[in-house]
Amino acid sequence: MDGPERAHSGHSGTAMALAPLAHVLFTKVMRHDPSDPEWPDRDRFVLSNGHASILLYSMLYLCGYGLALDDLRAFRQWGSRTPGHPEKRHALGIEVTTGPLGQGVANGVGMGIAERFLRARFGPELVDHHTFVFCGDGCLEEGISHEAASLAGHLALGRLVYVYDNNHISIDGPTELAYDDDVAERFRAYGWDVNDVGEEANDTAALERALRQAMAVEDKPSLIMVRSHIGWPSPHLTDTAKAHGDPFGEDEIRLTKEILGLPPDESFWVPDEVLELYRSTVPRGQAMRSEWQARVERWDGDRDAWDAAWAGRGLAGWEGKLPRFEPGSMVATRKAVNVCLNATGGLVPGLIAGAADLTGNTGMKLDGGERQSPEHPGGQQVYYGIREHAMAAAMTGMAHHGGVLPIGGTFFCFSDYMRPAVRLAAMSSAHVIYSWTHDSIGLGEDGPTHQPVEHLASLRAMPGLAVCRPADANECAQAWRVAVDGGRPTGLVLSRQELPVLSETAARAPEGVERGGYVLVDEPAGAAQGPPDLVLIGTGSEVQLCVGAAEQLASEGLRVRVVSLPCWEWFEAQEASYRRSVLPRGVPTLAVEAGASLGWDRYADATVCIDTFGASAPGAQVLAELGFTPEHVAERSRELLRQHRNEGGSK
């Protein structure tokens, strides 16, 4: 109560109702070592109803994870380690960033997949733990929870223990205003083990029994339903909507503390014996970790693979297996990524690939890869089904669990379904890779509903996400290398249609793609030295159009440079001198991309882009009708040059 009251903001009621459960979990049940929060074989805890963050922060302080009482006093304040919702990397012990309801439900499913995969891959002596998730009615009402729970049940993921805080209260009032699902039957239908313990939210012995019973279930995920009373034991706010989202006020806090036998005039009061009890989790956890460490030292398995998996990278020299594609050949980049995946996948020990019912279409099929399932718990191939929301959030859970590098695919237009999870992955620097294919109006006959237009611009606007659209198969191979080695979320935006392998990429892409942009085709030297007459910038399938237009313009005596700019984020990370060497000042510049023009003004004076939706017709025809041909690019180039001469300058 004291944290939200001091902040004049925050959610006390849910944290109060779940405090007995959290006490049992952190002090009696969960395997964790606050002195080594990244211990690989620890149990994981996810607070999906992240608005109750003050509960997690209290546990982290009490157990000795490094938070201090002053951090709790700074709840929700500028620069604090205790923001309004749990954010990974703000404080030790926070496994994932949660807050948007339902995301944590799906994160936990990903953690369950990761645990089972690693246990099968390296053995139970190294990997043998559970994932615990607290969730509320808001989490279960959000659509992502349906997808995630269905997937977990289908995969028969044991070692997942979810607790549903059934408090019957939402911000608007009683949940019955909009929600009367039979949650128990719903989850049983998904294939979960369900235990409704009823009015036991304050019975610590009953809660411990329920948790341990669920932990014993190995062949399906478990849901414990607890009928709690939000804000208990507040005399006036228990079971009210106000207890959900508002601080209680000084008078109500005093009354509640008196009921609990706490000193009503003390804030953030922690008796020594309470702190001593909680801090006893440290030596208990250290003993567990020491036993595990001894097993690791005795283990005679593949340590290089173990280390690479937990580092989220490939084995030493893995990049030497990257394929090289012959100039002039025609390869769709969605197919090129599959060649890369299969050429190097065996050297990336933690790799798990999958797609949302589009495994072959998005290049995510591992040759000979076993399907992740109870029969093949070490399977690297996950069939997510038509569940983009759950796939993206589960991938984030896998990445933050550690030991797993997930890559997942769908059509680029359906990145819209993934976006909330992608945002949280970017916010928390999750090492995930997205294969977003069918990347433009070049998709063709499926038409505007399936042809991405605004997606590049919208995802480029997301901080912390690298959006990479390679020009050909060789650029795709280098983008795959950078994504694996990079350690942050990367979206590979790939073509459905075949693209020519450009003659320059074999030599220039290895360095150029990593830098985000590079000179693909130099301007002809000519008699005069100095900057080019014109720069054409392209990404993805439009780079070839720039090359073709440059050839036409060269025949007219113009000195035209072609720049491939596959990733704005990587390019912006380069020093200014490099960026200016690629895009010199004062030279008219035309950007060509089959997507929205929004944002291109940072690099170009004019664009050949598309600011309308597409059309249903063969892809080549759609592109041509909307101006994506070398001839049209050349004509727009001439117009820009005329304008530049008339106006006497450019950016």
H helices of 345-402, in order, are: 388-401
What is the average pLDDT score of the chain?
97
Nearest CA-CA partner of 47 in 131, 104, 130 = 104
> In the chain, pLDDT over 70 holds for what percent of residues?
99
Taking only the tens place, the pLDDT of each residue in 111-144 is 999 999 999 999 999 999 999 999 999 999 999 9
Q: Can you give the pLDDT at residue 529?
A: 75
Q: Can you give the pLDDT at residue 71?
A: 98
Q: Can you give the pLDDT at residue 527?
A: 54
**What is the three-class DSSP state of 536?**
strand
Is 183 exposed, middle or buried (CB count within 10 Å of its CB: 0-12, 13-18, 19+)? middle
- Give me 365's structure tokens: 């099929």
Is residue 388 flagged as an active site residue? yes
Q: Can you give the pLDDT at residue 187?
A: 98
Taking only the tens place, the pLDDT of each residue in 447-487 is 999 999 999 999 999 999 999 999 999 999 999 999 999 99
Q: Can you give the pLDDT at residue 89?
A: 87
Q: Are 91 and 67 in contact (CB under 8 A)?
A: yes
Taking only the tens place, the pLDDT of each residue in 168-199 is 999 999 999 999 999 999 999 999 999 999 99
pLDDT over threshold 90, residue 602: yes
* DSSP 8-state secondary structure symbol assigned to residue 90: T
Q: Which residues of 547-568 are buried (b: 16+ CB within 10 A; e: fewer)?
A: bbbbebbbeeebbbbbbbbbbb
Section 100-112 average pLDDT: 98
pLDDT over threshold 60, residue 651: no
Taking only the tens place, the pLDDT of each residue in 529-572 is 789 999 999 999 999 999 999 999 999 999 999 999 999 999 99
What residue type is assigned to position 243 of the chain?
A
| Bigger pLDDT: 650 vs 161 | 161
Is 267 exposed, middle or buried (CB count within 10 Å of its CB: 0-12, 13-18, 19+)? middle
Q: Can you give the pLDDT at residue 306?
A: 98
Structural domains of the chain, with CATH: 2-290 (3.40.50.970), 318-500 (3.40.50.970), 511-647 (3.40.50.920)
Q: Are 605 and 650 in contact (CB under 8 A)?
A: yes
**What is the three-class DSSP state of 155?**
helix
pLDDT over threshold 60, residue 360: yes
Q: Can you give the pLDDT at residue 401?
A: 98
Element spanning 499, H or E: strand 499-500
- Give me 312's structure tokens: 């989220």
Catalytic: which of 87, 95, 147, 388? 388
